[in-house]
Amino acid sequence: MFRRHRTRNDGQMSAQASLAQAEAARRAQERKREAEQPVQAELDRLADEDELAELFRRAFNPGA
């Protein structure tokens, strides 16, 4: 069998490549956070409504 010869940089990348990778990761994180904001707002609203519903149940149904 023939051996594969690969060129390796021992896992080191140039400063430009490292910066580009970090910027891409930051942009991806920002997109993820922006996509999660409406969902988190809805969950917060539902939690507030649930808390209000519990308070109303306690106030209007004191014997239960």
Q: What is the pLDDT of residues 15-46, one digit of tens each?
A: 899 999 999 999 999 999 999 999 999 999 99
Note the pLDDT of residue 63.
73
pTM, two decimal places: 0.54
Q: Is residue 4 part of a domain?
A: no
Does any domain span residue 9? Answer: no
Tell me 53's DSSP state: H
CA pair distance 41, 8, nearest whole angstrom = 47
Count of structural domains within the chain: 1
Distance between CA atoms of 58 and 46, rounded to whole angstroms? Answer: 18
